[in-house]
Protein backbone atom coordinates (compact mmCIF):
# COMPACT_ATOMS: atom_id res chain seq x y z
CA UNK A 1 0.00 0.00 0.00
CA UNK A 2 1.39 3.42 -0.89
CA UNK A 3 0.83 6.68 0.87
CA UNK A 4 1.30 10.34 0.15
CA UNK A 5 2.72 12.68 2.76
CA UNK A 6 2.59 16.42 3.05
CA UNK A 7 4.89 18.76 4.97
CA UNK A 8 3.79 22.02 6.58
CA UNK A 9 5.82 24.57 8.52
CA UNK A 10 4.92 25.52 12.08
CA UNK A 11 6.61 28.30 14.07
CA UNK A 12 6.12 28.16 17.82
CA UNK A 13 7.15 30.63 20.56
CA UNK A 14 7.59 30.17 24.30
CA UNK A 15 8.82 32.40 27.10
CA UNK A 16 10.07 29.32 29.00
CA UNK A 17 12.38 27.19 26.80
CA UNK A 18 13.04 25.64 23.39
CA UNK A 19 11.60 22.36 24.70
CA UNK A 20 8.38 24.12 25.68
CA UNK A 21 8.15 25.81 22.27
CA UNK A 22 8.57 22.43 20.57
CA UNK A 23 5.95 20.77 22.77
CA UNK A 24 3.44 23.57 22.21
CA UNK A 25 4.04 23.49 18.45
CA UNK A 26 3.56 19.72 18.24
CA UNK A 27 0.44 19.82 20.41
CA UNK A 28 -1.10 22.56 18.26
CA UNK A 29 -0.18 20.86 14.97
CA UNK A 30 -1.72 17.54 16.05
CA UNK A 31 -4.98 19.30 16.96
CA UNK A 32 -5.36 20.49 13.36
CA UNK A 33 -3.53 17.85 11.32
CA UNK A 34 -4.34 14.15 11.27
CA UNK A 35 -1.83 11.32 10.81
CA UNK A 36 1.25 13.31 11.92
CA UNK A 37 4.27 11.02 11.56
CA UNK A 38 7.29 13.22 12.25
CA UNK A 39 8.59 16.67 13.09
CA UNK A 40 11.92 18.12 11.95
CA UNK A 41 13.32 21.05 13.91
CA UNK A 42 14.55 23.38 11.17
CA UNK A 43 15.66 26.38 13.22
CA UNK A 44 15.81 27.78 16.75
CA UNK A 45 16.05 31.49 17.53
CA UNK A 46 15.92 33.74 20.58
CA UNK A 47 14.20 37.07 21.11
CA UNK A 48 16.39 39.42 23.16
CA UNK A 49 15.32 42.59 24.96
CA UNK A 50 17.52 44.61 27.32
CA UNK A 51 20.26 41.97 27.06
CA UNK A 52 17.91 39.23 28.32
CA UNK A 53 16.22 36.29 26.63
CA UNK A 54 12.50 37.00 26.43
CA UNK A 55 11.35 34.23 24.07
CA UNK A 56 12.44 30.99 22.44
CA UNK A 57 11.23 30.38 18.88
CA UNK A 58 11.30 27.12 16.94
CA UNK A 59 10.60 26.60 13.24
CA UNK A 60 9.60 23.02 12.54
CA UNK A 61 8.48 20.96 9.55
CA UNK A 62 5.55 18.69 10.38
CA UNK A 63 4.98 15.64 8.17
CA UNK A 64 1.55 14.03 7.95
CA UNK A 65 -0.03 11.35 5.76
CA UNK A 66 -2.90 12.40 3.51
CA UNK A 67 -6.09 10.35 3.55
Check pLDDT > 90 for residue 1. Answer: no
The DSSP annotation for 33-66 comes to -SSEEEEEEEEEEEEEETTEEEEEEEEEEEEEE-
pLDDT tens, position by position, 43-65: 999 999 999 999 999 999 999 99
pLDDT at position 32: 94
CB–CB of 32/45 below 8 Å?
no
**Whole-structure pTM value:** 0.87
For 9, counting Cβ atoms within 10 Å of its Cβ (0-12 exposed, 13-18 middle, 19+ buried), the class is exposed
Amino acid sequence: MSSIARVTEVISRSTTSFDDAIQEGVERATKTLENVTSVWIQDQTLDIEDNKIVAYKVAMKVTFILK
